[in-house]
Amino acid sequence: MEVAGEVLASESQLHVLAVDDSHVDRKVIEKLLKISSCKVTTVESGARALQFLGLDEEKGSLGFNGLKVNLIMTDYSMPGMTGYELLKKIKRSSAFREIPVVIMSSENILTRIDSCLEEGAEEFLVKPVKLSDVKRVMNDCIMRGETEGNKRRRVDKRKFEDDNHASSSSSSSIPSSPSSPLPSSPSTAATSSPLHSLKRAKLRDHN
């Protein structure tokens, strides 16, 4: 709806790219984000998200409309490219890996949460997403923006803590990554933010 000129004028607003194959969920997340004073672009698939970012292999890495994306929120289960696959592509791209990515999923599966966080997701939100979830993500995002250096240190710290948690995972459902936290003790997780989300995700299991 916005023209390029208006878009350039509102650089101070966070621009969020929301990816979800569900029409209902796209409408809801768009509203949640707009109410939280964000600019929103919604797309229905990982492929479209990459196109929007300009990460098409053919087109090279320039954003196709030049509008910077500050945050990506993506559904996990989508046909074609999953949110996890999208996350990996973004984190492995030199142009876009600094963009925080939040995963949303209706399924509160520990190994899934773990894989996403391992791959660099900022948060894992259990659906249905609430306004309080979005506000919290926004706050984290703003804090991150102000302290990019701290973020790098926090990532390293997280890896360090994960390595310390690693041990005899006897369950065969745990992925091969050695730094997976133990499934039986989420409540003793360290207080670094991604593990906080993990604990919160567990607590919000309301199937």
Q: Which residues bind other proteins (CB under 8 A)?
A: 21-25, 27-28, 31-32, 35, 77, 106, 127-128, 130-131, 207
Nearer to other proteins by Cβ, of 136 and 151: the residue is: 136
Least distance CB 138 / other proteins (angstroms): 15
The single residue listed with the structure tokens 């876009």 is 96
Nearer to other proteins by Cβ, of 82 and 192: the residue is: 82
Nearer to other proteins by Cβ, of 3 and 24: the residue is: 24
Nearer to other proteins by Cβ, of 40 and 53: the residue is: 40
Least distance CB 34 / other proteins (angstroms): 9
Extract the runs of DSSP E, i.e. beta strands, from the chain. Answer: 15-19, 39-43, 71-75, 101-105, 123-126
Least distance CB 106 / other proteins (angstroms): 5
Nearer to other proteins by Cβ, of 123 and 133: the residue is: 133
Nearer to other proteins by Cβ, of 9 and 35: the residue is: 35
The single residue listed with the structure tokens 């509008």 is 67
d(CA 12, CA 52): 20
Least distance CB 65 / other proteins (angstroms): 25
Nearest in space to 75 (alpha carbons), one of 61, 60, 86:
86
Helix intervals (H) in 36-130: 46-53, 83-91, 110-118
Strand partners, 103: 74, 124
Pairing state between β 39-43 and 123-126: unpaired
Least distance CB 24 / other proteins (angstroms): 4
Residues 71, 14, 48: CA angle, nearest 5 degrees: 45
Q: What single string gives the DSSP state of each residue in 177-200?
A: -TTPPPTT-GGG--SSHHHHHHHH
Least distance CB 49 / other proteins (angstroms): 18
Nearest in space to 105 (alpha carbons), one of 77, 133, 136:
77
